[in-house]
Structure 1
Amino acid sequence: MKISLLQFLFVFCVGLLFFADLPKLAKSVKEKIRGSKKSNN
């Protein structure tokens, strides 16, 4: 399977955006889990 340079750059940029947003995503998920645990108890 041959990947063109443009495709590689596109995938790389999308991956970079995803990984840059990952810490924020993890933080919000943890807060949501904490919130649901508090409301249950």
Structure 2
Amino acid sequence: MKISFLQFIFIFFVGLLFFADLPKLAKNVREKMRGSKKFNS
């Protein structure tokens, strides 16, 4: 499969944004899990 340079750059930047947001997402998920545990007990 051959991808063009532009496609590569686009994928690279999308990946960069995704990974930059990952720690924030993980934090939110952890907080939600903690909240749901408190809510259940």
| TM bracket, shorter-chain basis | over 0.9
Give the TM-score taking structure 2 as reference length: 0.97
Give the TM-score taking structure 1 as reference length: 0.97
Gaps in structure 1 of 5+ consecutive residues? none
Task: Report how many residues are paired.
Answer: 41
Kindly report which structure 2 residues correspond to 1:1-41, keeping only aligned pairs within 5 A, or say none.
1-41=1-41
Q: Which runs of 4+ in 1 moved over 3 A?
A: none
Q: Percent identity?
A: 78
Gaps in structure 2 of 5+ consecutive residues? none
